[in-house]
Structure 1
């Protein structure tokens, strides 16, 4: 994991699916767990979803709070 990945979790939005447009850090746990069971997509989005699932599963989501609102990577 790169430290920059944590910033991406609070700035990058889900590009498709039921939660399209929602920040990856704001995706519900059941959705992240579904990906964990069915398989994460390839590429950056899959890597970020896997990281967020691990953070959520371990109850560490509040650690992202200080990163919210900071400028960082562009939303894509």
Structure 2
């Protein structure tokens, strides 16, 4: 996995839908699970949503904490 992808999770916003404007890293787990069941959108966005789903599903959200701090920094 490219580290740049993790950085995108804390900087890229959801471009549509119920959570439009929310950072991908801040999307609720049930929303990510819905995409996992129904299918992720194509392209980079779908890849980021799938990655965030894996992180959330496996309880690895703390991996993003240093990136969030760096962003505020």
- Please classify the TM superposition score into its range, dividing by the shorter chain length: over 0.9
Which 4+ stretches in 1 moved above 3 angstroms? none
User: What is the CA–CA distance in structure 2 between the aligned matches of 1:26 and 1:37, rounded to whole Å?
Assistant: 19
User: What is the CA–CA distance in structure 2 between the aligned matches of 1:60 and 1:52, rounded to whole Å?
Assistant: 9
Matched, 1:34 2:34: yes
C-alpha RMSD of the superposition: 0.9
User: What is the CA–CA distance in structure 2 between the aligned matches of 1:11 and 1:28, rounded to whole Å?
Assistant: 16
> Could you say what secondary structure the match of 1:56 adopts?
helix
The TM-score normalised by the length of structure 2 is 0.93
Where do 5+ consecutive residues of structure 2 fail to align?
none
Where do 5+ consecutive residues of structure 1 fail to align?
72-76
Number of positions where the alignment pairs a residue of Structure 1 with one of Structure 2: 71
